[in-house]
Chain A
């Protein structure tokens, strides 16, 4: 079970990001709990200035816009504690 936090004050892109992660998790059959973090202090506490940001299992993996679907897949596929950062898994489509 992965814990995913979507950081953002509720703008359109943040909603789209949460939806995308939900959809990809369903497609991959990965169990996730998605939490939307809207508190500004908490968002900045993660060091994220450009929203939306994404936190997977306590680690910030993304900031500044809706992530690409293949990036989302790579976070969801990764096992254990090490959610991959920038481009550990590059799935070319």
Chain B
């Protein structure tokens, strides 16, 4: 095998631990070793490289960019920038108010907030390396579509009346841009800091995700998965979304679980719907958004995302299962 991570996993699992390649424990350990080394290597590398460029796109700059765009292009721009701009979810409230105060419509702001956790460069690279570019492209396209359509709907239905009243009264001081690192040394140091901050924040989600994936890969029989989550069960997609609602993980952490599910023959649409539900809808995010959105808008938001994820799941399954793979 040309894959160094797979070779390392072979070495650790079969040589060092002496586990059988066809046993469940061997399969699980192999999955865990390969995925954890691969994902953490990629994670550190991508976060570091992005850290070097991070100052190019801060949320403050995104705000300026979107402010200058026309209304229609705003949704697309917000979704694209949401995908490439990393920000800590603890900043989502000031970000939301800061955007609105700058005259950016609520829908455009929400398009940014929906896309940002769903699609990010770290998840894209890791997803592509584990499950291939086809699924990755579908995932990115679907994630951005959910953000854009959601944003347009919010504005068309004039849901801005359900934004908390105090939000409209807040006035921003002159916006402070996070200082750009000047020298190469500064940039490298900044990127290093980013690695320790971001990896420090998400490593547990990633590790738990890999653990789940490994257990699934090693111990859950394929026919069991096929019976309940296979293409023959029309309820599999909505059930996957409902299961994902209370679960919360970072986009990177859910990838190994998705990989294991795909490996067990779960259809692509069901897997994507589950991933999105876990990443985008979560209790902590909603507690945060409740500070700026009235319960009615929050309920609409959750309802819209659930319906959108189910629709994406069905659509992808329909598109990719047609050629004779249905039972």
Interface of A with B (CB < 8 Å)? 8-9, 11-14, 40-41, 43-51, 53, 60, 62-66, 68, 85-87, 92
Contacts and interface: CB of A to CB of B under 8 A. Distances in A.
20 contacts: A11-B90, A13-B90, A40-B94, A44-B97, A44-B98, A44-B170, A44-B171, A46-B176, A47-B176, A48-B94, A49-B91, A49-B172, A50-B60, A50-B95, A53-B176, A64-B178, A65-B178, A65-B193, A65-B197, A66-B197
A7 B166 CA distance: 19
Given A40-B94, A48-B176, A50-B59, 16 more contacts: A9-B90, A9-B94, A13-B88, A14-B90, A43-B94, A44-B98, A44-B171, A44-B173, A48-B94, A49-B60, A49-B63, A49-B98, A51-B94, A53-B176, A65-B197, A68-B193
Question: Is chain A's interface secondary structure helix, strand, loop, or mixed overall?
Answer: loop
Interface string B168-207: 0111111111110010011001000100010001000000
B317 interface: no
Contacts of B178: 50, 62-65
B87 interface: yes
A60 B179 CA distance: 11
A7 B196 CA distance: 21
A53 B170 CA distance: 18
Q: How large is the interface on B (under 10, 10 to 19, 20 to 34, 35 or more residues)?
A: 20 to 34
Contacts of A43: 94
A44 B90 contact: no
Interface of B: 58-60, 63, 87-88, 90-91, 93-95, 97-98, 101, 166, 169-179, 182, 185-186, 189, 193, 197, 201, 291
B193 A11 contact: no
Contacts of B101: 44
A44 B93 CA distance: 10
B175 A47 contact: yes
Contacts of A14: 90
A46 B94 CA distance: 11
Contacts of B90: 8-9, 11-14, 51
B179 to A, nearest CB: 4
Contacts of A45: 170-173
